[in-house]
Amino acid sequence: MSAAESACPVSSYNEWDPLEEVIVGIVDGATVPPSHIALKATLPEDQHDFFRKHAGKPFPAEQIAAGKRDLEEFVHILEAEGVKVRRPEPVDQLKAFGAPGWTSTGLYAAMPRDLLLVVGNDIIECPMAWRSRYYETSSYRPLLKEYFHGGARWSAGPKPELKDELYDYDWTEAHDGGPFRSVISEFEPTFDAADFIRCGRDIFAQRSNVTNSFGIEWLRRHIGPEYRIHVFEFDDPHPMHIDATLVPLAPGKLLINPERVTKVPELFKGWDVFRAPKPIMPPEHTLYMTSKWINMNVIMLDEQRVVVERSDEPMIASFKKWGFKPILCNFRNFNSFGGSFHCATLDVRRRGTLQSYF
Ligand code: DAV
């Protein structure tokens, strides 16, 4: 690695090199997006009513306050572990925006993992398929400009039009266990960063209700022949984001969702495969946008230290058994907004170099 590379403010190749700088999202101003078919395909069944009734309105204030408390605890923990923490700027999510043919209001700046992808020294703004997330990078622009001035590459996918042609308005779930039917078409490239997970030269991806093949192909050519993108299909009728399904924790160590990964890809032959324990999230706890499997949505601070939800005893015990060092943090209130530690963060800089682990 050259001196210029090591000095770059953006530098991260995998999920486990020692974490130096991270962006942690915010829940301030979190707003329920307008109703749209693209949401329907991913929201939990029991949340459809809530989203219909509260479209375009802020999420309940007490939930936002509780989510904020969890985030503050998380930030303190990261700082105590020696990690530099950065935060996005709050923006008014109720301000309408649009493009020819549509208007929307926003969502939040809670999940940097969803919309920014760091591959080496490149920080990529993803062309997201949800209209409500079209301008979500606004909150991160001051940071992106700073990183660019500091020497990072700053890229963006082709700005999507998000016309009606992108969406399948007749979408219904394939109940018969048939092949995955996405709510989005191949009209133009779209992808969320969280449908990709990095493992040095190898990057794992899935097609989902926000990521199409066109988007994956765009990224493949953008990052170039130094990287290999592997596209997997899992047993998940509502795929959106890979980080509660298949999570490489360290070289040779893979965490899987045992319900969705019924066949571990051949590539991981010889790796330790850890099956995430069943989530213990109480049924009365509101989860607006995810399944309970966010118990496996953890962040590695290095090859051993892993941040785990404080009340998640089965996960804590499993990580200890597997030889990791769990660091506990309250995060259930934040979980309500659709993710856990991995979703809430973007590892901007980890101390390490580009390597092959296969
Ligand atoms: O339920 O698998 C988890 C990740 C959301 N950003 C799920 C989604």
Coil, helix or strand at residue 292: helix
Does residue 341 line the site of ligand 1, with CB under 6 A? no
Residue by residue, pLDDT tens for the chain (358 residues) are 555 445 899 999 999 999 999 999 999 999 999 999 999 889 998 999 999 999 999 999 999 999 999 999 999 999 999 999 999 999 999 999 999 999 999 999 999 999 999 999 999 999 999 999 999 999 999 999 999 999 999 999 999 999 999 999 999 876 666 788 999 999 999 999 999 999 999 999 999 999 999 999 999 999 999 999 999 999 998 899 999 999 999 999 999 999 999 999 999 999 999 999 999 999 999 999 999 999 999 999 999 999 999 999 999 999 999 999 999 999 999 999 999 999 999 999 999 999 999 9
Pocket test for ligand 1, best of 126, 196, 241 (most atoms within 8 A of CB): 241
Give residue 172's pLDDT: 82
Beta strand 102-104 with 116-119: parallel, antiparallel or unpaired?
unpaired
- Other CB atoms within a 10 A radius of the CB of residue 40 amount to 17
Does residue 291 line the site of ligand 1, with CB under 6 A? yes
Task: Give me ligand 1 centre to Cα 124, in Å.
Answer: 21
Q: Which two tokens stand for residue 148?
A: 């660019």
Name the helix (H) or strand (E) containing 350.
strand 345-350
State the pTM of this model: 0.96
- The CA distance from 166 to 114, in Å, is 19
Task: Give me ligand 1 centre to Cα 294, in Å.
Answer: 6
Give residue 3's pLDDT: 52
Task: Give me ligand 1 centre to Cα 15, in Å.
Answer: 17
Q: Among all residues, which ones are annotated catalytic?
A: 192, 241, 343
Sheet holding 325-329, edge to edge: 299-300, 305-309, 325-329
